[in-house]
Amino acid sequence: MSDAETPPETEFDPVAPNTGEEFEPVDVFPDSDDFDLRPGADSCFKCSTCDTNCPVAEVDDDFPGPKFQGPEQWRLKQSDDDHEIDDSVMDCSNCMRCDNACPSGVPLSQMHNTARGEYVSEQMDKLSVEYIRNRILANYRTSAFFASKVPRLANFAMNFGPARWVMEKTLGVTSERDFPEFAKQTFREWWADRGGQVKSRENAKAARKRRGLPEDADKKVAYFHGCYSNYNTPEVGKAMVRVYEEFGYEVVAPEQKCSGTPMFANGMLDDARRHAETNVSSMSELVDEGYHAIASCTSCSMALRQEYPELFDIDGIDKVAENTFEAVEYLRIHEDLKGEVQAADVDGDLAEEFAYHAPCHSRNQGLDRQAVELFRDLDGAEVEDVGDSCSGISGTYGWKEEKYEKSMEIGEEMFEHMEHAEGETGMTECPTCAMQMEHGSGYEIRHPLELLEAALVE
Amino acid sequence: MAIESEVLVIGGGLGGLTSALAAAREGADVRLVSYKQSTLRQASGLVDVLGYTPDGDGPLTDPYEAIPSLPEAHPYRKVGVQTVRDALSLFDDAVPTYEGEHTDTNALLPTHGGSIKPTARYPAGASAGLASDTRDTLLVGIEEMVDFDAPHVAAHLDATGVPFDVRGETIRFPGDLRADAKVTRYAKLLDTNSEVAVRGRMVPAREALAQRVNPLLEDEERVGFPAILGDDNPGAIRDALGDHLGVDVFEVPMGPPSLPGLRLEDALFSALDEAGASIETGNPVVDFDGEDRIEKVFIEKNGAKIPNSADQYVLATGGFVGKGVESDREGVYEPVFDCHIPHAADRYDWFEGELFGDHEFARYGVATDDDLRPLDASEHSEFENLRAAGSVLGGYDFAAEKSGSGVSIATGYAAGQRAAQEAR
State the smallest CA–CA distance between residue B135 and chain A in angstroms.
34
3-state helix, strand, coil in chain A (%, to 5): 55, 5, 40
Q: What is the mean pLDDT of residues B74-96?
A: 98
For the entire predicted model, the pTM comes to 0.93
Worst-scoring range by mean pLDDT, A33-47, A143-157, A417-431, B61-75?
A33-47
In chain A, what percentage of residues exceed pLDDT 70?
92
> At residue A13, does pLDDT exceed 70?
no
Q: Report the pLDDT value the prediction gives residue A297, as an integer from 0 to 100.
A: 98
A100–B36 C-beta distance less than 8 A: yes
Task: List the one residue out of B373, B378, B416 whose CA is nearest residue B392.
Answer: B373
Task: List the one residue out of A277, A233, A234, A232 whose CA is nearest residue A256.
Answer: A277
Q: Report the pLDDT value the prediction gives residue A3, as an integer from 0 to 100.
A: 45
Q: What is the mean pLDDT of residues A41-61?
A: 91
> At residue A33, does pLDDT exceed 90?
no
Q: Report the pLDDT value the prediction gives residue A34, as an integer from 0 to 100.
A: 64
Summarised one tens digit per residue, pLDDT across range B33-44 is 999 988 898 899
Which chain A residue lies closest to B31 (C-alpha atoms)?
A373
Q: Report the pLDDT value the prediction gives residue A18, as an integer from 0 to 100.
A: 53
Chain A contacts of B4, Cβ < 8 Å? 338
B282–A364 C-beta distance less than 8 A: yes
Alpha-carbon span A208 to A215, nearest angstrom: 6
Task: List the one residue out of A313, A261, A307, A315 whose CA is nearest residue A288.
Answer: A315
Alpha-carbon span A228 to A425, nearest angstrom: 20
Q: Report the pLDDT value the prediction gives residue B94, as an integer from 0 to 100.
A: 98
Cα A99 to Cα A74, B42, B303: the distances in Å are 16, 16, 17
Q: What is the mean pLDDT of chain A?
A: 91
User: Is residue B360 within 8 Å of B351, Cβ to Cβ?
Assistant: yes
Q: Report the pLDDT value the prediction gives residue B392, as an integer from 0 to 100.
A: 98
State the smallest CA–CA distance between residue A67 and chain B in angstroms.
11
**Bond preceding residue B257 cis, omega within 30 of 0:** yes
Alpha-carbon span A298 to B341, nearest angstrom: 40
B181–A333 C-beta distance less than 8 A: no
Hey, which residues 273-292 in chain A have their CB within 8 Å of chain B?
none
> At residue B135, does pLDDT exceed 70?
yes
Q: Report the pLDDT value the prediction gives residue A216, as an integer from 0 to 100.
A: 87
Alpha-carbon span B13 to B21, nearest angstrom: 12
Chain A contacts of B37, Cβ < 8 Å? 49, 53, 100-101, 103
Confidence of residue B231 (pLDDT cuts 50, 70, 90): very high
Cβ contacts of A127 within 8 Å, gap of 6 or more: none
Pairing of β B107-110 and β B166-171: unpaired
Which chain B residue lies closest to A58 (C-alpha atoms)?
B185
B100-108: long-range contacts, CB 8 A cutoff, minimum separation 24 = B100/B47, B104/B62, B104/B63, B104/B64, B104/B65, B105/B61, B105/B62, B106/B49, B106/B51, B106/B59, B106/B60, B106/B61, B106/B62, B106/B63, B107/B132, B108/B59, B108/B132
Summarised one tens digit per residue, pLDDT across range A323-342 is 999 999 999 999 999 999 99
Partner residues linked to B301 by β-bridges: B304
Q: Report the pLDDT value the prediction gives residue A458, as an integer from 0 to 100.
A: 81
Interchain CB contact of A88 with B (< 8 Å): no
B301–A305 C-beta distance less than 8 A: yes
Q: Report the pLDDT value the prediction gives residue A75, as an integer from 0 to 100.
A: 87
Using CB atoms within 10 Å of the CB of residue B144, give its burial: 0 to 12 exposed, 13 to 18 middle, 19+ buried: middle
Residue type for position A18: N
Could you write out the DSSP letters of every residue in A268-290?
A: -HHHHHHHHHHHHHHHHHHHHTT
Q: What is the mean pLDDT of residues B307-318?
A: 98
Summarised one tens digit per residue, pLDDT across range A194-244 is 999 999 999 999 999 999 999 888 999 999 999 999 999 999 999 999 999
Alpha-carbon span B170 to B173, nearest angstrom: 9
Confidence of residue A2 (pLDDT cuts 50, 70, 90): very low
> At residue A30, does pLDDT exceed 70?
no
Q: Report the pLDDT value the prediction gives residue A24, as an integer from 0 to 100.
A: 66
Q: What is the mean pLDDT of chain B?
A: 96
> At residue A21, does pLDDT exceed 90?
no
Task: List the one residue out of A223, A400, A243 whose CA is nearest residue A296.
Answer: A223
Alpha-carbon span B268 to B43, nearest angstrom: 14
Worst-scoring range by mean pLDDT, A91-95, A102-106, B214-218, B351-355?
A102-106
> At residue A14, does pLDDT exceed 60?
no
Cα B150 to Cα A52, A336, B147, B222, B234: the distances in Å are 23, 58, 9, 14, 21
Interchain CB contact of A53 with B (< 8 Å): yes
Q: Report the pLDDT value the prediction gives residue A38, as an integer from 0 to 100.
A: 81
User: Is residue A378 within 8 Å of A345, Cβ to Cβ?
Assistant: yes
Summarised one tens digit per residue, pLDDT across range A63-83 is 999 999 999 998 888 877 788
Cβ contacts of B378 within 8 Å, gap of 6 or more: none
Better pLDDT: A329 or A28? A329
What's A256's DSSP letter? -
Confidence of residue B354 (pLDDT cuts 50, 70, 90): very high
Q: Report the pLDDT value the prediction gives residue A80, as an integer from 0 to 100.
A: 76
B301-304: long-range contacts, CB 8 A cutoff, minimum separation 24 = B301/A305, B301/A365, B301/A366, B302/A305, B302/A306, B302/A309, B302/A321, B302/A322, B302/A324, B303/A309, B303/A318, B303/A321, B303/A322, B304/A305, B304/A321, B304/A322, B304/A323, B304/A324, B304/A325
Summarised one tens digit per residue, pLDDT across range A80-136 is 778 899 999 999 999 999 998 898 889 999 999 999 999 999 999 999 999 999 999
Q: Report the pLDDT value the prediction gives residue A78, as an integer from 0 to 100.
A: 82
> At residue B87, does pLDDT exceed 60?
yes
Whole-number CA gyration radius for chain B: 23
Which chain B residue lies closest to A53 (C-alpha atoms)?
B184
In chain B, what percentage of residues exceed pLDDT 70?
100
Q: Report the pLDDT value the prediction gives residue A77, as an integer from 0 to 100.
A: 83
> At residue A446, does pLDDT exceed 60?
yes
Cα A286 to Cα A256, A260, B229: the distances in Å are 12, 20, 54
Q: Report the pLDDT value the prediction gives residue A76, as an integer from 0 to 100.
A: 87
A94: left (phi over 0), alpha (psi -120 to 50) or beta: left
Alpha-carbon span B359 to A10, nearest angstrom: 27
What structural domains and CATH numbers belong to chain B?
Answer: 3-101+261-422 (3.50.50.60), 112-252 (3.40.50)
User: Is residue A323 within 8 Å of B304, Cβ to Cβ?
Assistant: yes
| A173 alpha carbon, distance to own chain's centre | 22
Cβ contacts of A65 within 8 Å, gap of 6 or more: A50, A51, A54, A56, A57, B180, B182
Chain A contacts of B323, Cβ < 8 Å? 103
Interchain CB contact of A132 with B (< 8 Å): no
> Which helix (H) or strand (E) covers residue A324, if one does?
strand A324-326
In chain B, what percentage of residues exceed pLDDT 90?
93
In our burial notation (b when 16+ CB lie closer than 10 A, e otherwise), range B288-306 reads bebeeebebbbbebbebeb
Highest mean pLDDT among A212-221, B72-81, B175-184: B72-81
Q: Report the pLDDT value the prediction gives residue A26, as an integer from 0 to 100.
A: 62
- In the CATH scheme, what is the code of domain A344-456? 3.40.50
Q: Report the pLDDT value the prediction gives residue B396, as an integer from 0 to 100.
A: 97
- Angle A78-A79-A81 from CA coordinates, rounded to 5°: 75
B27: left (phi over 0), alpha (psi -120 to 50) or beta: left
| A276 alpha carbon, distance to own chain's centre | 14
Using CB atoms within 10 Å of the CB of residue B370, give its burial: 0 to 12 exposed, 13 to 18 middle, 19+ buried: exposed
